[in-house]
């Protein structure tokens, strides 16, 4: 009986994930991060004077990384905090 309850909770959780589609803000964040990464690679390859400073490079590559990784780390912390092991993937 416990197995059925666990499966039902998992099914409900998966159906909730399906009901939460990707928002416009998610798409904009990903697009801006991609644009910053590609433009940084182009400026680095071309040797643009603005991009020669290592601090500017760190910020230029760090901002898109932080924008993408922050929600992932936030969800991971939430799962660890609630000790939710139903999302394990091997």
Q: What are the mean pLDDT values of the chain's consecutive 10-residue runs (90 residues total)?
A: 55 59 86 93 92 92 89 85 64
Please give the C-alpha separations between residue 31 and each of 4, 11, 22, 62, in angstroms, as whole numbers.
41, 31, 13, 15
Residue 64: count other Cβ atoms within 10 Å of its Cβ: 19
| Closest of 67, 75, 90, 81 to residue 13, by C-alpha | 75
pLDDT at 82: 83
pLDDT at 38: 94
Residue 53: count other Cβ atoms within 10 Å of its Cβ: 11
pLDDT at 71: 84
Query: pTM of the prediction?
Result: 0.60
């Amino acid at each position: 009986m416990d197995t059925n309850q666990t499966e039902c909770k998992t099914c409900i959780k998966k159906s909730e994930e399906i009901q939460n589609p990707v928002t416009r803000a998610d798409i904009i964040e990903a697009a801006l991060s991609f644009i910053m990464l590609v433009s940084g690679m182009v400026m680095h390859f071309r040797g643009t004077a603005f991009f020669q400073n290592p601090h500017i490079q760190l910020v230029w590559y760090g901002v898109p990384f932080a924008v993408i990784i922050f929600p992932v780390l936030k969800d991971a912390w939430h799962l660890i905090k609630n000790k939710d092991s139903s999302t394990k993937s091997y």
